[in-house]
Amino acid sequence: MKNIFKRTVFLLLLFPGFAQSQTRTGHAVGIKSFSYPTKQISDDLFGVFFEDLSYAADGGLYAELIQNRSFEYSASDRKGWNSLTDWEYTTKGFGYGTISVETSHPINPNNPHYVVLDIDDPGQNGVGITNLGYDGIRLKKGELYNFSIYVNQLSLKSIPVEAKLCGKEGEIYGVFKFKTNGKGWHKYAGSIQATSNTDSAMLTVVATQKSILALDEISLFPQQTFKNEHNGLRADLAQAIADIKPKFMRFPGGCLVHGDGVNNIYRWKNTIGPVENRIQQRNIWSYHQSVGLGFYEYFRFCEDIGAKPLPVIAAGVSCQNSGGTWQIGSTGQKALPFTQMKSYIQDILDLIEYANGPANSTWGAKRAAAGHPKPFHLQYIGIGNEDKQTDTFRSRFKMIYEAVRAKHPEITIVGTVGPSPSGEDYDLGWNFADRLSVPIVDEHFYETPRWFLDNNHRYDNYSRSRSGIYIGEYASQGNKLINALSEAAFMTSLERNGDIVKMASYAPLLANVNHTSWNPNLIYFNNDTLVRTANYYVQQLFSVNEGDTYIPDIISFERDKLSKDSTLASSCVRDSKTGDIILKIVNAGPQSAIAKINLSALKVTGNLIVSKTLTGNPNDQNSLDHPKAVIPIDTRIKITDLDSFTAPAYSLTVIRFAAKVN
Ligand code: AHR
C-alpha cells in the first residue's frame, strides 16, 4: 500500500494531470482489483493520413487505369500539359482524318473538354485515340476489366467502335466492340477479359467507318476493386492500408486541403455525384485531381476498413506557401472574402448532413442516391491545416468553429497549431486554441530520428486541462530501420500519454515511385506492385496491438539504472476486449539491452507466447526490389524468459499474451 502511494505521488509529479485519468482500481477501464495505477488510452489513437500527393489518388489508390480520362488536363495543372496529355492519335492501319478538342456541347459544363474525331478513311484498323495509362496499364491474365465511354454520334449513321487493350508491339490483350445508337451523348460499357499479364498495356478506342463522333469520359477499371466497390479502389493498396487496422483515416490531405490560393481550396461538394459531373481541379502538388476518389468514396473506404472518417476542411484560407508552392515567389496565405464565408460555412454544415443526416434530408438524400442510405457516423472534423496563425486565419476559423459547435455539438472539432513542433505558429496556435477551448489540436513533426528519441517525454508534462492532441503528420525523415525504430520509441510515449494524445497518424501514406514529390512515405508502389516500408510495419504493429489501458512500471531496462538511455523505450498496455497484455520494447541502439519485466501484477495464462520482432541493420530499408529487407519475424518464447528479456540491438519487439489481472 505504501509503495503504491509512493508510486502515485511520483507519477503525479511526473505527469501533472495524472490524477484525472488514472485509477488505482481501474474501474474506469474495467480492470477489477488491479493494484497498479492505470491510465485510459484514447480509442482512436493510431490511424492513417491520406493525401493525394505523389499520385496517391489518381494513378494510385483510385483504381481508374486511364489517365486524363475526361481530357481535363491543362497547362495550369502542369506546364506543357493539355487535354491530350497521355493520349495519342491513332491511325495505325493507314486511316486518316482529324482530331480536335472541343468544348461547345459537353456532357456536363463541369467537364467541358472532349475529343472529336472526323474520320475520312478508317483504314484497316480504324482511327481513334490511345491512352498510355499511368506508366502503362497493368493487366492480369484472365481478369475482367470494366470499360466505359461516352460517345456523341455526330454523323447520321450508327458508328462501329472498338476498345482494345494493346501492347507496344501491336499485341491485342482483349477487345470490346459496340455500335453507337443515335445522336447525343450516350454511355457505352462492357467488360474485357485480359489474355495476358503485362504492366505496359495501352487502351485504344477506334471508330472503324467513315464518321464524325465525339468521345469523353473514357474509363477502364479492374473488376476486382477493393471489396468490389463500384468506382472503387486498387485492391492491393487498399488492403495494405486496411491491414494497418487504422482507427481513423484523415483525408483528403494536408496542404491539398487549403490549396494553392483560394480558388484551389478543396471543395468537397465538387467531389460527389456522378464522376463525369464532378468539378476537377489542379492539385497543389502540380498535377491534376480527377476527384473520382471523392468524399463519397473516402467515407465508403473508411467504413470498409472500420476506420472513423476524419475529413479536414480549409479554414477559409489558402496554404501560406501559395503561388509557387514551396518556392520563392510565394504569394502567401489568401483568404475567402467575408461575404463568401456564410456559404462556405454552410458547405461544412452540409458535409455533416451528408455524412450523418437521414436519407430524406437534403444532403443525406445525395448520400443515399450514391448508394448509402445509412449514415457514415462522422464524429470528427478537422478545420485548417498547418495554417499560418494570422488574424485572417483566426477570424475565419472562429466563425466556422462557432457555427459547427452551435449546430453540431456532437462533432469533435480538430484545430491546427502550425507546421512545426515549436515556434511562433505553434505558440500562437495553442494560445488561440486555449481561448476557444478547441477540443483537439493538430501538431506536425517532420524531424530527425534523434528528435523522436529525444522527445519521448514531450507529452508527459503537457497540461491535461488544455486541448487534446492529434499528431496529424509525423515522420522521421527516412525509411531506414533506424527511422522506423525512432518512430516506434516515440509511439510508446503516445500510448503512455494516450489520455491526452487522442490520435496520431504517420504522413504521408502513399507514393507512386515514379511520381514522388515527398519523401519518406509509408507505402511505395508502381502500377504493378507495392512495398511496405519498415515504418509501415511499426505503424501496423502498434495499431493492431493497441490497448485501452496503459499500465506503468512493468518494464525497466538494466542500462537505465546507470543513466537514462534515450534509445530504449517501452510500453505495457491492456486490451480489455481480449484481456490481453501487450508489451512493446524498442531498442534503437547498437547494443542489446536487458529488460526486466515485472509480471507479478499480471496473472499470465499460458506458458509459450509468440513475439513479433522487427530488427536488422539500422540502414536496411525495404524497396520495390527488396521488399523484405525489414519485416516482422515471429518468435516463440517462454513466459519465464520475460523475467530478463534481451532486446536485440536495433529492434522493436511486441509481446502479447493473455493475462488475468490480479
Ligand atoms: O505530408 C506532406 C505535407 O506536409 C502535407 O501536405 C502538409 O500538411 C505538410 O506540410
| Å from CA of 283 to ligand 1 middle | 13
Q: How far is the CA of 57 from the centre of ligand 1 (A)?
A: 15
Same fold, 87-222 and 230-530: no
Q: 21-30 long-range contacts, Cβ below 8 Å, gap at least 24?
A: 21/464, 21/499, 26/549, 26/661, 29/548, 29/549, 29/574, 29/576, 30/576
pLDDT digits (tens, 9 = 90+) for 495-546: 999 999 999 999 999 999 999 999 999 999 999 999 999 999 999 999 999 9
The alpha carbon of 641 and the centre of ligand 1 are apart by a number of angstroms equal to: 43
419 CB near ligand 1 (under 6 Å): yes
Q: Which residue in 386, 447, 473, 487 is the catalytic one?
A: 386
Residues near 147 by Cβ (< 8 Å), separated by ≥ 6?
A: 163, 176, 189, 190, 191, 192, 203, 219, 220
Q: pLDDT for 602-639, tens place per residue?
A: 878 778 788 999 999 999 999 999 999 999 999 999 98
Q: Of the residues 52, 250, 255, which should be mutated to test ligand 1's pocket, given the most ligand atoms within 8 Å of the CB?
A: 255
d(CA 516, CA 521) in angstroms, rounded, equals 9
Cα 217 to Cα 66: distance, rounded to the nearest angstrom: 9
CA 117 to centroid of ligand 1, rounded, Å: 42
Digit-coded pLDDT (tens) for 379-416: 999 999 999 999 999 999 999 999 999 999 999 999 99
The answer to whether the CB of 255 is under 6 A from ligand 1 is: yes
At 11 the pLDDT is 32
- Domain boundaries defined on the chain: 29-41+549-661, 87-222, 230-530
d(Cα 226, Cα 232) in Å, to the nearest integer? 6
Q: What pLDDT score was predicted for residue 32? A: 38
Site of grid cell 474506469: 28
Q: Please state which CATH number belongs to domain 29-41+549-661.
A: 2.60.40.1180
Q: Which amino acid is at 583?
A: L
> What pLDDT score was predicted for residue 16?
32
Confidence (pLDDT) at 38 = 87
C-beta 418 within 6 A of ligand 1? no
Write b or e for each residue in 301-313: b if 16 or more Cβ atoms lie within 10 A of its Cβ, otherwise e. bbbbbebbbbbbb
Q: What is the DSSP string of 83-101?
A: TTTTEEEE-TTS-EEEEEE
Q: For the domain 87-222, what is the CATH code?
A: 2.60.120.260
Q: Give start and end residues of each alpha helix (H) in 529-574.
A: 534-544
CATH superfamily ID and name for 230-530: Glycosidases (3.20.20.80)
Q: Helices 295-305 and 235-243 meet at what angle, rounded to 10? A: 50
Residue 452 CA to ligand 1 centre (angstroms) = 18
Question: Which is the closest atom of ligand 1 to the Cα of 475?
Answer: 1
Given this model, what pLDDT does residue 661 score? Answer: 63
pLDDT-flagged residues of the chain (< 70): 1-36, 324-329, 661-662
Q: Would residue 386 show up in a list of annotated catalytic residues for this protein?
A: yes
